[in-house]
Amino acid sequence: MAAELFDEFVDLEALADDLADPDPGVRRVAVLRLAETADPGTVPLLARALADPDGQVRLQAAGALGGFDGPEVAAP
């Protein structure tokens, strides 16, 4: 059971760092991992990814934000 708890742990700080990685593939994976958490705390990070220079990262971020509901998602 303890191993399952660690499987659920997501390091949001590391994923936030990955959003600044020079490799767009790393940034796309970070967006996907953020979306998988379904944590509303990831909305600001996903909103930041909407301004990414890579179109695929922006597309992933927009799709991920579509999975959230609430006023914090309306602005981005």
Q: What is the CATH number of the domain that holds 53?
A: 1.25.10.10
Classified as helix, coil or strand, 41 is helix
pLDDT at residue 6 in the model: 45
Tell me what the mean pLDDT of segment 44-51 comes to.
95
Range of the domain at 24: 15-68
The answer to whether residue 10 sits within a structural domain is: no
Q: How far apart are CA 5 and CA 51, in angstroms?
A: 33
What pTM did the predictor assign? 0.81
The answer to whether residue 34 sits within a structural domain is: yes
The answer to whether residue 76 sits within a structural domain is: no
pLDDT tens digits, residue range 56-73? 999 999 999 988 877 777
pLDDT at 3 over 80: no
H/E stretch holding 37: helix 24-37
pLDDT at residue 47 in the model: 94
pLDDT at 1 over 60: no
